[in-house]
Amino acid sequence: MLIRPRRNRKNKVIRKLVEENQVSVSDLIFPLFLINGDRKKEEVPSMPGIFRQSTDLLLEEIESCSRLGIKTFCLFPAVEEKYKDKYAIYSYSHDNFYLKTIEKIKAEIPDVNVMTDVAMDPYSSDGHDGIVENGEIINDPTLEVLAKMAVAQARAGADIIGPSDMMDGRIRYIREALDKEGFSNTSILSYTAKYASSFYGPFRDALDSAPKSGDKKTYQMNPANVKEAILEAKLDQEEGADMLMVKPALPYLDVIRTLKEISNLPVAAYNVSGEYAMIKAAAEKGWLDGPSSMAECLLSIKRAGAKIILTYFAKEYAELIQ
Ligand code: PBG
């Protein structure tokens, strides 16, 4: 035999020398759940190890993650029912705890980047990402709300705006609104190909944000489609997105690869709540080794072509590789 591929696997040093892909802590964005109040911390039942926390504790968590090398955090608010309405007005009202938290993070830990979520669902009494009229999610009037939300977040100091709503035309609408208000340096990481997925269940528990009626299939993508992801990517690019995202990650590795091939923009992937819950549940039962399964899944997302990974495993992974 002239060719023996096993020679490149014969010891740890050689294996590392020929290793094609790595997940670095600097590739990771850590999603965090925020609640209103003081010294409040509640574990999300379907996401062991992940908490909804008030601003004070969240700041401590960000400090501790920052020491591990995690520098970008994506914030999601769990909003009390009394602040929700049809038009998600609370999402851009200046006394809102989400915006105040962004200000605080940027003032107290200025070297970290804050990514936001732009969508109506955490603030909507209908639990949808857009305005509901006669059972329909209406696109164009929703853009107005999204733009107000994005501008308010940029004003609070957000570094990266993350539209997760899947309305048509929202990237251009938000980009123009940001530029008009003087926020031309605020980045947009677009949820380009966000699928109508079953893997968001634990997240909706964390935020109490499940739709009150119907589903999200008229705006989130059909899991069967990949050409449509190319169309969405082209539009986002033309409309001024800085980064593209595929969501969820593991069931859509082919979509990640496709976007990486067709676009020159950095591709991100969202390793969502259900993907986290699956590994945690299997590890709790002793059916999988948690840490190594986590590392293998993150690596697969990287290998598929994502430069950036949003993952609830961020802190655990950073601790593991330290
Ligand atoms: C909603 C939003 C969702 C997630 C992020 N933003 C859920 C949804 O579309 O219902 C899911 C993230 C996760 O499951 O981890 N705008």
Tell me how many helices (H) and strands (E) the chain has: 11, 12
Per-residue pLDDT of the chain (322 residues; tens, 9 = 90+): 999 999 999 999 999 999 999 999 999 999 999 999 999 999 999 999 999 999 999 999 999 999 999 999 999 999 999 999 999 999 999 889 999 999 999 999 999 999 999 999 999 999 999 999 999 999 999 999 999 999 999 999 999 999 999 999 999 999 999 999 999 999 999 999 999 999 999 999 888 888 998 999 999 999 999 999 999 999 999 999 999 999 999 999 999 999 999 999 999 999 999 999 999 999 999 999 999 999 999 999 999 999 999 999 999 999 999 9
pLDDT score of 94: 87
Q: According to the model, what pLDDT value does residue 50 have? A: 97
204 lines ligand 1 (CB under 6 A): yes
Q: Distance (Å, rounded) from C-alpha 114 to C-alpha 161?
A: 9
Residue type at 67 in one-letter notation? R
Token couple for 264: 């020159």
- Per-residue model confidence (pLDDT) at position 205: 87
Ligand 1, atom 6: nearest CA belongs to which residue? 164
Index of the ligand 1 atom closest to the CA of residue 129:
16
If you take atom 8 of ligand 1, which residue's CA is the nearest one? 200
Q: What is the pTM of this model?
A: 0.97
Confidence at residue 95, expressed as pLDDT on a 0 to 100 scale:
87
Structure confidence at residue 243 (pLDDT): 98
Rounded Cα gap, residues 161 and 187, in angstroms: 6
Which of 79, 91, 164 for mutating ligand 1's site (highest number of atoms within 8 Å of CB)?
A: 164
Report the separation in Å between the CA atom of 285 and the middle of ligand 1, taken as the mean of its atom positions. 26
Residue 308's pLDDT is what? Answer: 98
Tell which residue, 273, 271, 265, 259, has the closest CA to residue 23: 271
CA distance 57 to 40: 7
> And the tokens for 104?
């605080």
Site to probe by mutation for ligand 1, drawn from 121, 145, 216, 311 as the one with most ligand atoms within 8 Å of Cβ, is 121
**Residue 271 main-chain phi, psi, to 5 deg:** -80, 95
Nearest CA to ligand 1 atom 3: 200
User: Could you give the residue numbers annotated as active site?
Assistant: 194, 247
Q: Is 273 in the pocket of ligand 1 (CB under 6 A)?
A: yes
